[in-house]
Amino acid sequence: MTHAEVKNVNVWYDTIHALKDVSLKFEPNTVTALIGPSGCGKSTFLRLFNRMNDLIPSFRMDGTVMVNNQDVYSKEIRIDEIRKNVGMVFQKPNPFPKSIFENVAYGLRVNGINNKAVVEETVERSLRQSALWDEVKDVLKKSALELSGGQQQRLCIARALAVEPKLILMDEPASSLDPISTARIEELIFELKKTYTIILVTHNLQQAGRISDLTAFFYLGELIEYNLTKKLFLNPDNVQTQNYITGRFG
């Protein structure tokens, strides 16, 4: 059973209190959208799960983050183990300047899996899952940089899937893509939630409404409302949420 949970988390960057006592539980096989104006802490929140915030020297936190019943910030746990179990897709497609095949195989190779048959099978499965296989199966040796932006982003999704994560984090995965590529990514997210739990940061409220089951609204580092997406967009409990989704600020 996939499980992600955040309990009483506070985050600081130097003296800036970026997340204030946030607690949230994520259901398996759902898509949860994190929305809120820039600087509200939603990206910081997303990066708690694979400890990407650790790369920022001024980052400090307390509270608990659990993924799969494992304390992500426990001292005994190895950071690369965590990152292997949590896939991440970034705002801008960031394929490595390697072949399409090697991009997907990368996560396996750095985790010590080099068996040729296993690698080939995983690459194919991941590319199929990310709906890219039919477009690239004959050109797997070609540089990933020659793909279109939308294809590159689906390649990055395949790359994340290859290490079989439990949880997938997406940081505005479609914000740099054209509408057609965006639609494909959204369809893909819809497919992927059958297998994975997805947490998605988006600035695009329509997108959150279209693809997420649950939505969390952040404002000034606080979690204002966490609700079913339908409920949150049609009839939010909180007046601040109401103001944000109707465009009164943000």
Partner 1 sequence: MDTKQLKQKIVFTIFGMMSFVVVAILVIILGFIVFRGIGAISWEFLTTAPKDGMTKGGIFPAIVGTGCLVIGSMIFAFPVGILSGIYIHEYLPENWWKKFLRMMTNNLAGVPSIVFGLFGMALFVNYLKFGDSILAGSLTLGILALPVVIRLTEEALKAVPDGLRLGSYALGASKIQTIQKVVLPVAFPNILTGLILSIGRVSGETAPILFTVAAYFLPRLPESISDQVMALPYHLYVLATSGTNMEETRPMAYGTALVLVSIVLIINLSASLLRRKIQKKNKMN
Residues that bind partner 1 (CB under 8 A): 50, 52, 55, 57, 80-81, 83-84, 86-88, 90, 92, 94-99, 106-107, 109-111, 141, 143, 145-146, 156, 159-160, 163
In the block, residue with structure tokens 């990368």? 106
In the complex, least distance from residue 247 CB atom to partner 1, rounded to whole angstroms: 31
Question: Nearer Cβ to partner 1, position 185 or 224?
Answer: 185
Backbone dihedral angles phi then psi of residue 188, each to the nearest 5 degrees:
-65, -45
Question: Nearer Cβ to partner 1, position 111 or 238?
Answer: 111
Query: What separation in angstroms does the CA of 34 have from each of 103, 112, 148, 163, 218?
Result: 28, 34, 27, 24, 7
In the complex, least distance from residue 79 CB atom to partner 1, rounded to whole angstroms: 9
Question: Nearer Cβ to partner 1, position 86 or 200?
Answer: 86
Question: Nearer Cβ to partner 1, position 52 or 232?
Answer: 52
In the complex, least distance from residue 250 CB atom to partner 1, rounded to whole angstroms: 26
Query: Which residue, among 184, 224, 232, has the nearest Cα to 208 in the 3D structure?
Result: 232
Buried b / exposed e across 183-206, counting CB within 10 Å, b at 16+?
A: ebbbebbeebbeebbbbbbbeebe
In the block, residue with structure tokens 């969390």? 216
In the complex, least distance from residue 57 CB atom to partner 1, rounded to whole angstroms: 6
In the complex, least distance from residue 111 CB atom to partner 1, rounded to whole angstroms: 6
With 0-12 / 13-18 / 19 or more C-beta atoms within 10 angstroms meaning exposed / middle / buried, residue 80 is: exposed
Question: Nearer Cβ to partner 1, position 102 or 225?
Answer: 102
